[in-house]
Structure 1
Amino acid sequence: MVTSSEGKFELGTYMANVEKEIIQKTLKKNNNNVSKTSRELSISRQNLQYKIKKYNLDLG
C-alpha cells in the first residue's frame, strides 16, 4: 500500500505505479514494440511514448 509520511493513502501514486507496471509487462510481452503495445493497451502510440518517458522505462 502506498501511504504518505502522515499515513494517508496516496491514490495518485498508487495508480501511477499500477499504470507503470502494466506498461512494463505489456512492453515485455510485445518485445518492446511500442506500436503493438499501444494497440493492446488501446492508447495512442504517442501517449504510450509519453508514458514511457514519464516513467523512465528502458526499452533497450
Structure 2
Amino acid sequence: MDTASAEEMKEAFNVFDKDGNGLVSPADLQHVMANLGNLTDTEVEDMIRESDKDGDGNINYK
C-alpha cells in the first residue's frame, strides 16, 4: 500500500474511532452506523467479528 492509500485508510478509520485510541470498538461502530442506517447490535457484532484479526473484540488499525 502506498503512502497516500495508507493515509486515506487512516482517515477513514478516524471517522469510526471516536476516542482516538487506534481501535474501532463495537460502540464506535454502532455510533457511526446508527447515523448511517441503524444496524442491529447483531449486525455490528458480526462486522467486528469478521474484521477482528487478534480476537480482542475491536478492529485495530494503528
Q: TM-score, with normalisation over the residues of structure 2?
A: 0.34
Point out which structure has higher relative CO (alpha carbons under 8 A, 6+ apart). 2
Larger Rg: 1
Query: Which is richer in strand?
Result: 2
